[in-house]
């Protein structure tokens, strides 16, 4: 329990670290913005003193003293402005440093729940958007807005009529800002979704570039992208048109207001109610009062994007922090139990596998056969925890997979998918699963078990050879054998191999058989999904999966040669009462299993 509590406290500490000091920094930025805005009155006071004191007295020393003082005040204003800008940039960097890893963690997890790669990567772009906004002029305008009344009061003190005119202009510009917000909110959300759709198509086309080129339908793929891009551009243009139009209107109104203030101030001077210096002072102060509002409208598009991104990032972080860290459990070493699992496609929600049960003990190997599309790869994803089960459970030493932390579970499971994907890293890093503390002897041992050591050392850079994105520098068979070495690294308790010999030659198949026997000998469990019988040479048990169900389970001789085998009673597995928490209501999936019921590991047929 102490380890579990420590991990939970660690997550909360990470969240606390994210917000630690933010309130103090906000207060600091507010106060320093106050200093900047107070010092921004320098120009107005300078003109008052020039016209009403220096020119009236004709004193050059007075003019020089006033000018030196003004220069000093401008210097401090610029210095405080630089400090505010640098603080905002560093806050953005801090937010990125704290949130980018969390966003990437979510991005890695999202595809297994049916999200596209583009949708997953959008979490990282959200962090970039927030950081970029914090480094722009938008936040400075937001911190200047609360100090607008300071300039309004100054203009009002010069003359109430000038103050009323400036306040009226500020009110009109504020209404424009609110209207801009209301009109861009819906369009900005739609534009964001269109961007995700366009990026998803672009990502799909890029990943399938070889097929598009070889089969000559790259043009059709580009047309599909063109349609998505047109929709994206239409929505983006509409949003930009709204922001740009209101931005232009606000700038024109601001110039009109400044001219109106000058005209009214001149009139008041003519009738003797205002001094000549107050004309320029009022113009400068009124323009400074409108500047934050005008800047906020000009940066409204970026502000809306940053606000939406921050909302998604905050939701992501909140959900991550709400997850309870599993308690550390001993590494499994006895059994794998599959109890009545039902699995659906995360994207479409269609049930692909129903009521599958079986049990394996340490030292056993199971071969899974069946027609394509029958549910074999779905079963592999469920056994490794990639896809969640709607009903039932997968247990290692009687503990469900969800009770293990991801890192701990990863050490106990080796997985080689049907389409082997390697990271853009060295061969050693791929085999060691990016473990910085991996010992060379463990990497070599895994490569030796997969019979790929000699092939690696013959390469110019050996284990330090970079394989490029998706392992493009390797052949299909080489990628598959390095993928096998990665699955065997660290001697995991359960090894799941999906079509492990699809690209292997006779030598490679022999190495695969030896690797399976090695895992069995050290007390591990191997599950091999195969179409070619040669992959089943070292397995003890065979299961047949077709049409989403397990229709046979037994020894290799019993299943593959039923006429020669003696009839046996299939094993039964007790199923704990479980209730689906994720199954949609329209799937037609039973939501519970009667307590104490026993489910046969084979179908109800022969």
Tens-place pLDDT, residues 236-268:
888 888 877 887 888 888 888 888 988 998 999
Residue 509 class from Cβ within 10 Å (0-12 exposed, 13-18 middle, 19+ buried)?
middle
Q: How far apart are CA 530 and CA 96, in angstroms?
A: 44
Tokens of 353: 């596998």
Contact 269, 90 (CB under 8 A): no
pLDDT at 13: 53
E strands in 345-410: 351-361, 365-369, 391-396, 399-400
Q: Which helix (H) or strand (E) is 289 found in, with range?
A: helix 276-298
The residue with tokens 């397995």 is 539
Q: Which residues contact 431 (CB under 8 A, 6 or more apart)?
A: 443, 446, 447, 463, 482, 485, 486, 489
pLDDT at 301: 75
Neighbour count for residue 73 (Cβ, 10 Å): 18
Q: Which residues contact 277 (CB under 8 A, 6 or more apart)?
A: 47, 48, 49, 50, 51, 52
> Please, what are the averages of pLDDT over each run of 10 residues along the chain (606 residues)?
46 54 83 92 88 83 91 93 91 85 80 74 83 86 89 90 90 82 75 80 76 78 87 83 80 85 90 87 87 80 82 77 75 90 83 91 91 88 89 91 86 88 87 89 91 89 83 79 91 90 74 88 91 80 91 86 50 42 32 31 33
Query: Of 190, 203, 180, 201, nearest to 232 (Cα)?
Result: 190
pLDDT at 336: 93
pLDDT at 21: 62
Q: Provide the β-strand partners of residue 546.
A: 549
pLDDT at 98: 82
Contact 408, 325 (CB under 8 A): no
Domains of the chain in start order, with CATH, are 2-322 (1.20.1560.10), 335-600 (3.40.50.300)
Q: How far apart are CA 156 and CA 282, in angstroms?
A: 9
Print burial letters for 131-141: b (CB count within 10 Å at least 16), e (below 16): bbbbbbbbbbb
Query: Of 230, 7, 30, nearest to 144 (Cα)?
Result: 30
Q: Which residues contact 491 (CB under 8 A, 6 or more apart)?
A: 522, 524
pLDDT at 575: 42
Q: How far apart are CA 54 and CA 48, in angstroms?
A: 9
Q: Provide the β-strand partners of residue 393.
A: 339
């Amino acid at each position: 329990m102490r380890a579990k509590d420590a991990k939970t406290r660690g997550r909360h500490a990470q969240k606390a670290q994210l917000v630690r000091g933010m309130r103090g920094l906000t207060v600091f930025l507010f106060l320093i913005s106050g200093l900047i805005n107070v010092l921004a009155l320098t120009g107005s006071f300078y003109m008052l003193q020039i016209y009403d004191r220096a020119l009236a007295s004709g004193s050059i020393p007075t003019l020089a003293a006033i000018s030196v003082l003004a220069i000093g005040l401008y210097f401090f204003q610029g210095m405080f402005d630089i400090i505010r800008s640098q603080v905002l940039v560093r806050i953005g960097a801090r937010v990125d440093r704290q949130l980018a890893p969390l966003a990437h963690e979510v991005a890695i997890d999202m595809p297994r729940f049916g999200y596209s790669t583009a949708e997953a990567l959008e979490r990282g772009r959200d962090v970039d958007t927030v950081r970029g906004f914090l480094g722009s002029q938008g936040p400075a305008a937001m911190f200047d807005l609360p100090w607008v009344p300071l300039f309004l009061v100054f203009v009002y003190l010069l003359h109430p009529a000038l103050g009323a005119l400036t306040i009226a202009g500020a009110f009109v510009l504020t209404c424009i800002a609110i209207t801009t917000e209301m009109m861009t909110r819906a369009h900005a959300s739609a534009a964001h979704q269109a961007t995700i759709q366009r990026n998803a198509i672009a990502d799909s086309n890029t990943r399938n570039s070889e097929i598009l080129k070889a089969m000559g339908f790259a043009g059709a793929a580009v047309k599909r992208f063109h349609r998505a891009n047109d929709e994206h551009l239409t929505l983006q243009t509409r949003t930009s048109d709204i922001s740009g139009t209101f931005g232009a209107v606000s700038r024109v109104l601001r110039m009109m207001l400044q001219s109106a203030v000058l005209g009214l101030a001149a009139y008041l001077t003519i009738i003797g109610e205002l001094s000549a210096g107050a004309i320029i002072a009022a113009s400068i102060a009124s323009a400074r009062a409108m500047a934050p509002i005008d800047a906020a409208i000009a940066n409204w598009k970026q502000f809306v994007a940053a606000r939406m991104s921050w909302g998604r990032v905050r939701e992501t972080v909140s959900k991550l922090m709400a997850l309870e860290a599993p308690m550390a459990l001993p590494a499994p070493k006895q059994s794998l139990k599959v109890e009545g699992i039902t699995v659906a496609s995360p994207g479409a929600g269609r049930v692909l596998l129903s009521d599958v049960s079986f049990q394996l003990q340490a030292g056993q190997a199971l071969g899974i056969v069946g027609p394509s599309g029958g549910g074999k790869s779905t079963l592999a994803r469920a056994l490794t925890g990639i896809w969640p089960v709607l009903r039932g459970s997968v247990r290692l030493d009687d503990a469900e997979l969800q009770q293990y932390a991801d890192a701990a579970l990863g050490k106990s499971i080796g997985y080689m998918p049907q389409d082997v994907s390697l990271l853009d890293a060295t061969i050693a890093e791929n085999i060691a699963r990016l473990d910085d503390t991996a010992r060379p002897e463990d990497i070599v041992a895994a490569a030796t078990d997969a019979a790929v050591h000699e092939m690696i050392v013959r390469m110019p850079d050996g284990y330090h050879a970079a394989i490029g994105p998706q392992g493009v520098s390797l052949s299909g068979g080489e990628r598959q054998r390095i993928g096998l070495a990665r699955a065997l690294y660290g001697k995991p308790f359960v090894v799941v191999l999906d079509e492990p010999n699809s690209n292997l030659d006779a030598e490679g198949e022999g190495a695969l058989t030896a690797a399976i026997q090695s895992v069995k000998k050290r007390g591990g469990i191997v599950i091999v999904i195969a179409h070619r019988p040669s992959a089943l040479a070292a397995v003890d048990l065979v299961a047949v999966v077709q049409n989403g169900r397990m229709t046979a389970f037994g020894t290799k001789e019993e299943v593959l040669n039923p006429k020669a085998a003696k009839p046996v009673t299939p094993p039964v597995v007790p199923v704990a009462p479980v209730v689906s928490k994720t199954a949609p209501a329209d799937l037609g999936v039973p939501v519970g299993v009667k307590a104490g019921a026993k489910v046969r590991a084979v179908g109800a047929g022969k």
